Amino acid sequence: MKLGRAALGLLLLVSGVARAVEPISLGLALAGVLTSYISYPRLYCLFTECCGQKRSLSREVLQKDLDSKLFGQHLAKKVILSALSGFISNPKPKKPLTLSLHGWTGTGKNFASKIIAENIYDGGLNSHYVHLFVATLHFPHAANITLYKDQLQLWIRGNVSACARSIFIFDEMDKMHAGLIDAIKPFLDYYDHVDGVSYQKAIFIFLSNAGAERITDVALDFWRSGKQREEIKLRDMEHALSVSAFNNKNSGFWHSSLIDRNLIDYFVPFLPLEYKHLKMCIRVEMQTRGYEVDEDIVTRVADEMTFFPKEERVFSDKGCKTVFTKLDYYYDD
């Protein structure tokens, strides 16, 4: 459709000289224009979305987006920044980039995947080259696993054939039927080609609540010992996350060959959010809606949230996910 509109635009562009040119000559001229248009990618991409980055990925822009939109997640920001910028700048990666994001609902996993998509394609999650799978929506019935495996392989193969730099996001991995995700194992391995298709420039992102308990335990231990959450290192929980996902029978990664064969590059922990992080979310949402930041409303909305553990009330049990609906109450027209 986009190519059709662009071609129509070119036809209209030259239509002004149609009366001065013989029909056959005009046809040859139009054919030449269209051939030149398709032959030069830079010109073509002015009119339609193209495969690949919207520009050379800017580490500085990605850093700014992560800092201004993702709160309380120093580990996730560091891993995503290094992993993504290093992968994109590598002209010949050995395998696709594979990230598994873990943490409670509302801690920023979906938001992080959105930031990644937007830094590679202008369309972000709406790009033709970014594909989102939601376990409960796209793979609802356990009896259809064999069918889902075939469909998933065909979908990924077809899209990577069309665009090597395709992005695949799998949400609700903790709700996915065990064994299903192993269907894509050949695409994540260290192969130059699989049936004539190279998957080495693709990006796979998995989102899951599995392992959230372990993440919370570590964060709570640091808080109780008087340490700053920024002192938590990836090594404090990455191995425990992979083991937790692998051994969780309610996880799509249960005994998965993706973990067993070390095909997931990074297990990225998203820490539970504190009161101060909720306030950051509320301020940004106010600005996004075009309102001036009202600290009184910020405090009132944050105070309405619930926290755990019950005695200490350190972490928000829903993260930033519900602050937006609560904010609607104060700006209800």
Annotated binding site: 103-110
Which residue numbers belong to the known binding site for ATP?
A: 103-110
CA 161 to chain centre: 20
Could you tell me which of 198, 103, 213 has the C-alpha nearest to residue 160? 198
- Residue 175 to residue 321: CA distance in whole angstroms: 19
- Residue 25 to residue 19: CA distance in whole angstroms: 11
User: Residue 203 phi/psi, 5° resolution?
Assistant: -125, 130
Contact 70, 106 (CB under 8 A): no
What does the DSSP assignment read for 177-212? PTTSGGGGHHHHSS-S-BTTB--TT-EEEEEE-TTH
Q: Which residues partner with 116 through β-bridges?
A: none
- Residue 96 to residue 47: CA distance in whole angstroms: 29
- Residue 31 to residue 248: CA distance in whole angstroms: 59
Residues 6 or more apart whose Cβ sits within 8 Å of residue 333: none
